[in-house]
Amino acid sequence: MRLLSLTCQRFRNLSEVTLAPSPHTTVAVGENGQGKTNLLEALYFLATLKPLRAGRLSELVQFGAVSAKVTGRFLLSGAEREIAVEVVPGGRTALVDGKRAASLESYFGGVSVVAFTPDDLAVVKGGPDGRRAFLDRSVFNRFPAYLEESREYARALKSRNRLLKDNAPVSHLQAWDATLARVGARLWARRRQVVGEVAPRARDAFARIGRTEEGATFSYAPSHLPHVDFAASDEAQLQQALGLALDVRLRRDLERGFTSVGPHADDLELALGQHAARQYASQGQARALVLAWKVAEIENLEASNGFLPLLLLDDVSSELDPERNAFLMGYLAERGAQTFLTTTDAHLVQRAVGPDTVWYRVSGGQVSRREA
């Protein structure tokens, strides 16, 4: 897979920008606040239909405009195709070769992207919601259908939670339980598979990066499922288990006004040796854990798709852990993936630069070619 061109229109502060990226490394250099992250975000959004930074889709639309559009031309298995996503009032439209995409599978068609951003650091030390979102980004990459599945789940959950808050009759609540159990079991099965594939690779990657005696473990922790062997159950058994757990916890959930069991309540547990990384990891170890997961994800996507994802690396800076930055730069250069880097200082990305590196300067939402 290769991105041949990228066009952003009215996307945040990028009024009208077209890039012709390198097959390998493309670097965007600029001062803070100029639009470097916006550029990566546009590419991330195109490739995932999810914003890179949390928030509403409408934030992506340039102040004063009504719609934003990102278009990319890709080379995929020898054929060129154009995908585009438009943010319009009330939602977004995905297009393939100019026509509304028939399905998300046809839209993605193998395009995937892994992003490294300074915000990743918060994943290890923060709450479970951040780790679920972190894991889910990997699951979307691996299974494009997960996007629709997780939406369906979120809609059912929202409806059930509203009824719980309103103290609605139990029969109304139970109308949602079947959907939650069915779709929740699907999400569980998807997440479990991705953790199963990525975790062993991540453990190995951590040993290469971590410079820590203790090994890292990454494991999925479903909450409030005491009577189920999560790892050994098939999807039908998980569905049954979730249906049961919803029943068992109904009275408690009614008191609290929200649903306490299901994929939305789980965690991705990260540990160093016997200790929870959340409490005990240093800054450097936390960064290495995230790095290890993503390196593992890249390798896993390559194994399942037959080609590497696009890699985005936002805000390469010197303050942040020079040693691990150097590891990452070296790793990216060696893999030969199509990579997009942003930095305020061109010197900091030298290790990832090759003869075909394409350089851009970003200033006030304008993007122009520059020399190395």
Establish if 117 lies at the interface with Mg ion (CB under 5 A).
Answer: no
Three-state DSSP state, 123: helix
| Interaction between residue 13 and ligand ADP (CB under 6 A) | yes
User: Whose CA is closest to 223, among 340, 127, 320?
Assistant: 127
**Cβ neighbours around 354 below 10 Å, total:** 10
Does 62 engage in binding with ligand ADP (CB under 6 A)? yes
Q: Applying CB under 6 A, does 35 fall inside the site for ligand ADP?
A: yes
Name the residue nearer to ligand ADP (CB basis): 32 or 274: 32
User: Nearer to Mg ion by C-beta: 13 or 37?
Assistant: 37
Identify the residue among 7, 26, 37, 117 touching Mg ion (CB under 5 A): 37
Nearer to Mg ion, 118 or 126 (CB): 118
Spell out the long-range contacts of 348-355 with Cβ–Cβ below 8 A and sequence spacing 24 or more.
Answer: 348/316, 348/317, 348/318, 349/25, 349/27, 349/316, 351/326, 352/25, 352/27, 352/313, 353/25, 353/27, 354/24, 354/25
Q: Does 30 bind ligand ADP (CB under 6 A)?
A: yes
CA distance 123 to 292: 13
The item of ligand ADP, Mg ion, none sharing an interface with residue 48, based on CB under 5 to 8 Å by kind, is none
Determine the Cα–Cα distance for residues 326 and 318; give it in Å rounded to an integer. 10
Q: Which does 63 bind (CB under 5 to 8 A by kind): ligand ADP, Mg ion, none?
A: ligand ADP
Nearest distance in Å: CB 66, ligand ADP? 12
Residue nearer to ligand ADP on the CB measure, 36 or 278: 36
CB of 54 to ligand ADP, least distance (A): 13
How many residues line the site for Mg ion (CB under 5 A)? 1
E strand or H helix at 180: helix 170-209
Interaction between residue 38 and ligand ADP (CB under 6 A) = yes
Find the binding residues for ligand ADP in span 351-370 (CB under 6 A): 362
The residues, ordered by sequence, that sit 6+ positions from 7 with a Cβ below 8 Å of its Cβ are 16, 17, 18, 19, 69, 70, 71, 72
Interaction between residue 264 and ligand ADP (CB under 6 A): no
What distance in Å separates the CA atoms of residue 151 and residue 157, rounded to the nearest whole number?
A: 10
Rounded to whole angstroms, what are the CA distances from 11 to 8, 64, 65?
6, 11, 9
List the one residue out of 312, 319, 371 whose CA is nearest residue 25: 312
CA distance 93 to 356: 34
Only one of the segments 32-40, 147-155, 188-196, 330-338 lies at the binding site for ligand ADP (rule: CB under 6 A); that segment is 32-40
Q: Is 343 among the residues that bind Mg ion (CB under 5 A)?
A: no
The DSSP bridge partners found for residue 166 are none
Burial readout 109-142 (b: 16 or more C-beta within 10 A, e: otherwise): bbbbbbbbbebbbebbeeebebbbebbbbbbbbb
- Give the binding-site size for ligand ADP (rule: CB under 6 A): 15
What is the bridge-based pairing of β-strands 113-116 and 310-313? Answer: parallel
Out of Mg ion, ligand ADP, none, what residue 234 binds, judged by CB under 5 to 8 A for its kind, is: none
Does 63 sit near ligand ADP (CB under 6 A)? yes
Compute how many other C-beta atoms are within 10 angstroms of the C-beta atom of residue 372: 10
How many Å apart are CA 238 and CA 181, to the nearest integer?
Answer: 8
Q: How far is the CB of 195 from Mg ion (least distance, A)?
A: 30
| Cβ-Cβ contacts under 8 Å for 99 (sequence gap 6 or more) | none
In whole angstroms, how close is the CB of 23 to Mg ion at the nearest point?
24
Residue 59 CB, nearest approach to ligand ADP (Å): 6
Between 61 and 286, name the residue whose CB sits nearer to ligand ADP.
61
Looking at the Cβ atoms of 57 and 308, the one nearer to ligand ADP is 57
Q: Please, what is the minimum distance in Å from the beta carbon of residue 7 to Mg ion?
A: 20
User: Does residue 71 belong to the site contacting Mg ion (CB under 5 A)?
Assistant: no
Closer residue to Mg ion in complex, CB, 237/363: 363
Q: Give the footprint of ligand ADP on this chain (CB under 6 A).
A: 12-13, 30, 32-38, 59, 61-63, 362
Q: Give the footprint of Mg ion on this chain (CB under 5 A).
A: 37
